[in-house]
A and B are shown apart, each in its own frame.
Chain A
């Protein structure tokens, strides 16, 4: 049978497989056909290996698995995949093939998920538009002249375009939530330490988590069930505090939402603000109470983030030295080899952050930058702790704008960084947040961010399901409907 994969949720795909309405191989083939049809323009995948994918699908068909077995998935190319090239969007890892898979990929394999390929990203996840990929930008399925967001822009674009039912992304400062918002998807950034980072090419260890990017809130819950596990290979990972439940939409009586009104004054696009205000009204209509909360230090999150994340990155990226793997540019001595390799292998944004981070950790500047930023981080965490003493969850727009045109912010790093003002503080606090579609503004998706205390994923998913049901958002971009 011909399977229409556009808008097909993973939950529905699993039902098709379990009802024997199609095989995993047929499903994978349908996605591969779709990729062949539209990804030339979108450039959302960095690596697709149809033979490997179909072989994995046939294996699932033969093993007669249950649950999600046989459902396809796409992985951000920051996640190590054993035997399959993993570039992190960088020239310095061109041709690198990991010897082991990331824990989350291993668990996907255990659940019987079939990989369709590796998705594009900003180099080493450093960016908010996927334009910083060394392999070229990804285009937004809602408007191919615009960015899909980033850094998990490839994962967002493959799901929005019907090139995968769902995908995994990573979020260091908004890299799941912002592209999910830009592409009309659901994106969950889990509590720090609930998902293993083993095998995730490290950008900023203390900030990043792997999470689902999906068409529905229920799909996000299903994928979170697969990846949220304790791991003995990540010392900071203890898994979820309680099992992830499948959410049902319903009323929100007894729920109190905090709205940080002062934060909203900081340059939110009119259409985004209007959609956000509508969601506040929806919340009240469902029985929830709205109260103002203050997050006085959150506005310093951007500054603190751009010290801490580059500081960690400057160390994490030092291993790319041309000695053991990846790119090597030969030179007369080892020092010159390091310099030539790193100069050729890293893009401008990565170099910028290595410089910032190295500077921030240098003798004489360490206390003024790194230590000070850590103090701010502590204060931001306390801001959220205090707020969650009063409210169940906090509502904010995911990003202050809709997807911007390709190239519009490339020459202005600060403007690019500022797109993450509502997401960064959440990473600094290590708490979870869910972005759900929040209607369109001038034909482009906007996102509603629901932020909760640590290990409140089940609550966030339930709240997200309620908004999702009220919005009845169609996640298939108009252009994608006709494209098949």
Chain B
């Protein structure tokens, strides 16, 4: 699955450009609130509206968070980096230049390992800090897009939001690798707390540079750019579709044109946004209104030391604790699930038992309810209470499922209370079990005879009958033992 995409003698070459909106209190170069979803054009000032005389002041927290992300991506953080002006005219760019970074980015030359089956490493070219553009809304157009729209309005609330642009080398070899890489990267940034990386809200946006080349070739084919994929799944699907398109062209003897494409997940189609002939000369030059960003090596060392446990390390820890790779990967990268798991495992004191509950009952419940783990009424504390009752033998698995359902339905209930109220404590008492077993054996002479005749698998049926007779509360192990004892008597 995570091997390379290879068809008809060609292989995929994919690089990603990822924009992460940083979750700082204020914007990148002014004191306006950095907030999503407010009334349009309310979080604005002289600076983010680019009034004459306005000057930018760099947000130190954005610089700090970017450095933390850079460290997590194994980047070198140069002692000095520089902001530059990237110039282009468009109504979403109030200054008609974006303050970005050019030849001296905040983070350089990293590498990021994606573990698990078919593990691979992606080199990070750079990660640089810049400001987001305003949001254009094209009235009357198809789904807010410019094609066919009657007019456009601009919301400057987003103008000046801190953006960290992460650029990879073209090291990805399949849509699946792209999906895995982006999933892990997203989990890493979220774990750091630099961004919520919500692709639907646009706080993480990914562009993919896609090309194909003959297998074994060291050169690169002409690449196209897939813009603004808004989910990890669509990213993989878009790349897949583009690879197929390019392969079709090449096999038909046609050339791949360098262009920017939009992938429509609804139709699976690709449309051209612009060709490279219209490419801009951005006329970069160092931003004279800002001083270079300097990084103190001691501060960086301290920042690196203060990073939380990152998903890659988490994966190693969980597999080390004996969890299967697939489970460990899920619990390392699904942010809410990971936090839930950690708390549960801490309370239960057994990594595997906690993992089984999270991957089993909890996941089923979350999927059915369509909610994230942190929104479940069955909090880790409540679930830990239930797991404790199973571990100490108070209830059996069958009852546990019933108790779990009760916890979902009644947020005020606790596991011990449910067990008490419903009389679910398992029957392990030898006398009580003995009576049940004796009754079942007496009622099923044919099966008893079959067992004694050598058809040992019949015992499963007898266990089931006993369990039924106990109202599901029988201690399954004790029951088995007792049955065997009686049958072999």
Q: Which residues of A contact B (CB under 8 A)?
A: 79-80, 86, 88, 93, 96, 98-100, 102, 197-202, 204-206, 232-236, 311-312, 314-315, 318-321, 323-325, 334-335, 338, 358, 361-363, 366, 370
Contact = CB atoms under 8 A, between A and B. Distances in A.
Contact of B285 (A202, A311, A338): A311
A100 B47 CA distance: 11
B96 interface: yes
A80 B57 contact: no
A198 B87 contact: no
Contacts of B283: 314-315, 358, 361-363, 366
Contact of B52 (A86, A236, A361): A86
A318 B89 contact: yes
Nearest to A87: B52
Contacts of A323: 91, 94, 154
B289 A205 contact: yes
A255 to B, nearest CB: 33
A363 B281 contact: yes
Nearest to A237: B55
Interface of B: 46, 49-58, 85, 87, 89, 91, 94-97, 152, 154, 281, 283-285, 288-291
26 contacts: A79-B53, A98-B51, A100-B46, A102-B53, A197-B53, A197-B55, A199-B54, A200-B53, A201-B53, A206-B288, A235-B56, A236-B289, A315-B283, A318-B89, A318-B95, A319-B52, A319-B95, A323-B94, A324-B49, A325-B51, A334-B152, A335-B89, A361-B283, A361-B284, A363-B283, A366-B285
Contacts of A311: 285
Contacts of A235: 55-58, 289-291
A279 B108 CA distance: 56
Contact of B96 (A98, A102, A318): A318
A315 B53 contact: no
B52 A202 contact: yes
Contact of B291 (A199, A236, A314, A321): A236
Given A236-B289, A318-B89, A363-B281, A99 B51 contact: yes
Given A235-B58, A319-B96, A98 B53 contact: yes
Q: Which 4 A-B pairs have the closest CB atoms?
A: A318-B96, A206-B288, A361-B283, A205-B288
B89, B154, B284, B285: residue with the most chain A Cβ atoms closer than 10 Å: B285
Given A315-B283, A318-B95, 9 more contacts: A99-B51, A202-B289, A235-B289, A312-B288, A314-B283, A315-B85, A315-B87, A319-B94, A358-B283
A236 B287 CA distance: 11
A80 B87 contact: no
B26 to A, nearest CB: 13
Looking at chain A's contact residues, the main secondary structure is loop
Given A100-B46, A315-B87, A370-B285, A233 B55 contact: yes
Nearest to A204: B288
A321 B89 contact: yes
Between B53, B56, B285, the greatest number of chain A beta carbons within 10 A of the residue's beta carbon is seen for B53
Contacts of B85: 315
B55 to A, nearest CB: 5
Given A318-B89, A362-B281, A324 B53 contact: no
A201 B52 CA distance: 5
A4 to B, nearest CB: 36
Q: Which of B58, B97, B154, B288 has the most CB of A within 10 A?
A: B288
Contact of B97 (A198, A204, A315): A315
Contacts of B55: 197-198, 233-235
A201 B281 CA distance: 26
Contacts of B89: 318, 321, 335, 338
Given A98-B52, A99-B51, A324-B94, A318 B288 contact: no
Given A233-B55, A235-B55, A235-B58, A319 B50 contact: yes
A233 B236 CA distance: 44
A311 B407 CA distance: 67
B18 to A, nearest CB: 26
A415 to B, nearest CB: 28
Nearest to B287: A205
A6 B166 CA distance: 63
Contacts of B94: 319, 323-324
A102 B285 CA distance: 26
Given A233-B57, A338-B89, A88 B97 contact: no
Given A315-B97, A321-B96, A363-B281, A93 B52 contact: yes
